[in-house]
Structure 1
Amino acid sequence: MPDFAIYPSLKGKSVLVTGGAGGIGALTVEAFAAQGAKVGFLDRDEVGSRAVADKTGADFALCDLRDIDAMQAAIATLATKLGDFTILANNAARDDRHNWQDVTPDYWDERMATNLRHMFFAIQAIAPGMIAQGGGSIINLGSNSWWEAGGGFPAYATAKSAVHGLTRTMARDLGGHRIRVNTVVPGWIMTERQKELWATPEGLEAHRNRQCLPDLIDPVYVARMVLFLASDDAAMCTASNYMVEAGSI
C-alpha cells in the first residue's frame, strides 16, 4: 500500500460518515480515524458496525437511513458526543441490480430512499452546526454508472445522477457560509460486495479494457479522495465532480 498523505487540518475535526460498516464507507471511517479526526458513522449493520468501531475507535449509531426521523435523531446523538460535525461523507447506497420491466412505483421510491433522499436530509441536519462553526465540507458519493450508460439498474443510476444536482445546488446555497459541497465519482470499485456478487472474470476483463489504467480500483482510493476534499488543502474546491474511475468513462 502506498505511503499516503497526512492532512494536519483534519486532526480533531468531527466527521460523520453514512454507511460506515462496510465497503468504501468502512475504509473512509478508517482513513479519517488515522488522521486523528473524531469520527462517527451511521449504519444498520450492527455486526459490521461493531467491527469497524473496534478497529478504528470510531463511534457509531444504528439506524435505517430510509427512516429520516431515525437518521436525524442518530446524527443528533453522535453530535452530542463528538461535537458539531464540520465534515459529512454522504456515502451510503446499494447498487442492487434490477430489470426495468420489473420496477414498480414502490420499488422505485424505495431505491430513491436508499440511494438519494437521505443525503439531502443528512445535509439538512448537519449544516446548521457547520454554519455555527464557520464552515465545513460535504462530500456526496456519486457513481460513474450513468456516465458510462451502464444498464441493469435504472433506479440506482437515476438516483446517482441526481446526486450531482444535489451537490451543485447545495454548494450554491451553503457556499456563503464557507461550506463546500463536492461529489466523488467512483468507478467499479473492488469492494467485497462487488467481488462476491458481480465481479466475474469476463466482466473484470471487459472493464479493464474500458479503463485507461490497467489496475482494478481498491476502495481505499475513494476514501483518499474524500479525505482530500474534507481537508483545508481543498479549501477552494466546491460544486465539482472528482473522478476515481481509472479513466473508464
Structure 2
Amino acid sequence: MSGWAIYPSLKGRSVFISGGGSGIGASITEAFAQQGARVAFCDLSEEPSRELVARLGQDGHGEVLFQKADVRDIEQLRATIARAAEVNGPITVLVNNAARDDRHSFETVTPEYWDERYAVNLRHQFFAAQAVYPMMKDAGGGSIINFGSTSWMMGLGGMPAYTSAKSAVAGLTRGLARDFGPANIRVNGIAPGWIMTERQKSLWLTPEGEEELMKRQCLKRQLQPVEMARLTLFLASDDSSAMTNQTYVADGGWV
C-alpha cells in the first residue's frame, strides 16, 4: 500500500461489498481492510473468497467476514447484509460491485435469460441500497458506490442484456442520490473501462483486442483492478463528502 492515500474516516467503518471475492471486488475488499475498516463481503465463488480472507488475516488486516451468497436471491442478499451489520455494526459504506459480463447473441436471448442478466447486473444494487438505508440514516449518513460499465457508452455489441443493465446503473444512481440525500447518504457510480482482471485476460483479451485497447485509450497501458479500488476508497471516505449523484468514468480515456 506504499504511496496510497490513507483515509482516517474509513478506519473502523462498517463496509459491505457484493462480489468481493475476486477481480475488482477482491481489490476493493483488500483496500478497505488495509484502511482498517470492518469489512464484510459476499460472493458466489467460495474457494477464492476464503483464500482472500486467509491472506488478509495473515497480513494483519483483521478479520474479514465472507458469506457465500447469490445476489440474484434477494432474500439471501438481505440476510447476508443483516448478518454483516450484526457482526461489524451498522453498514455505512455499501459497494454494489457484483456483476457478470457474459457475452450473448441477441438471437439466443430468452425472456428468462434477460431477467437473469438484470438480476445479476442491476436488480441487487437497488435492494442492497434499500437494505442499508435505515442503518445509514440512523448513523447520520453513509456512502453507496454502484459499479456500472463503459460498455454501453462505447456501444459494444454482443451482450445487449449486460450493456442495457449497466446503462441503467447510472439512472439508478441518480434516482437514489436524490431520494437518499436528505438522510446525508451519498450515492455515486463508477464506470470502469476494460480492467485487466484474471477473468478478462483468460476469456476476452486477444492480441487484436489489446491492439484496439492501445489505440483507443489515452493511457497506453492496461488498467488494473487496484485502480478501481483506489477510486472506491475516495468515494467512500469523508474526503468526498460533497460528491453525490455522479458517475465517474475510469477507463484510461477511452470514451
Q: Which residue among 185, 190, 210 is the counterpart of 1:184?
A: 190
1:205 aligns with 2:211: yes
Per-residue deviation, residues 40-70 of structure 1 (Å, max 9, x unmatched):
0011111111011112231111111100001
More displaced 10-residue stretch of structure 1: 159-168 or 43-52: 43-52
Distance 1:126 1:52 in 2: 25
User: 2:17 matched to which residue of 1?
Assistant: 17
Task: Supply the distance in 1 between the matched residues of 2:132 and 2:179 (Cα, whole angstroms).
Answer: 14
Q: Secondary structure at the match of 2:183?
A: coil
CA distance in 2, matches of 1:180, 1:55: 31
How far apart in 1 are the matches of 2:54 and 2:243? 33
The AA in structure 1 aligned to 2:43 is D
Equivalent residue for 2:5?
5
Indicate the RMSD between aligned Cα atoms, in angstroms: 0.9
2:100 to 94, 100, 111: 94
Matched, 1:216 2:222: yes
Of 240, 244, 250, 1:244 maps to: 250
Partner of residue 137, structure 1: 143
Contact conserved, 1:66 with 1:118, CA < 8 A, in 2?
A: yes
Q: Distance in 2 between matches of 1:2 and 1:104?
A: 48
Instruction: Give, in angstroms, the shift of residue 201 of structure 1.
Output: 1.1
The letter of the residue matching 1:50 is: R
- The equivalent of 1:113 in structure 2 is 119
For 2:182, give the aligned amino acid. Answer: G
Pairwise CA distance, 1:243? 1.4
Answering whether residue 136 of structure 2 is matched by residue 146 of structure 1, we say: no
Query: Which runs of structure 1 show a deviation greater than 2 angstroms over 4 or more consecutive aligned residues?
Result: none
In 1, Cα distance between the equivalents of 2:10 and 2:193? 26
Question: Is this contact kept in 2: 1:52–1:58, CA < 8 A?
Answer: no
> How far did residue 207 of structure 1 move?
1.3
User: Do 1:61 and 1:74's aligned partners in 2 also have CA atoms closer than 8 Å?
Assistant: yes
Distance 1:73 1:156 in 2: 26
In the alignment, structure 2 segments of 5+ residues that lack a partner are 57-62
Indicate if the aligned counterparts of 1:116 and 1:160 stay in contact, CA closer than 8 A: yes
Q: Amino acid of the residue matched to residue 55 of structure 2?
A: K
| Alpha-carbon distance in structure 1 between the residues aligned to 2:201 and 2:104 | 18
Matched, 1:163 2:206: no
Deviation, 1:230, is 0.2
Residue 92 of structure 1: CA displacement?
Answer: 0.2
In structure 2, the partner of 1:228 is: 234
Partners of 1:228 and 1:32 in 2: how far apart?
A: 11
Partner of 1:43: 43
SS of residue in 1 equivalent to 2:101: coil
Give unmatched runs, 5+ long, in structure 1: none
CA deviation vs aligned residue, 1:218-247 (integer Å, no higher than 9, x gap): 010001100000000100000001111000
Matched length: 249
Mapped partners of 1:2, 1:141: distance in 2: 26
Q: What is the percentage of aligned positions where both structures have the same residue?
A: 56
Asked if 2 retains the 8 angstrom alpha-carbon contact of 1:17 and 1:25, the reply is: yes
TM-score (norm 1): 0.98
Question: In structure 2, what is the Cα distance between the partners aligned to 1:237 and 1:205?
Answer: 35
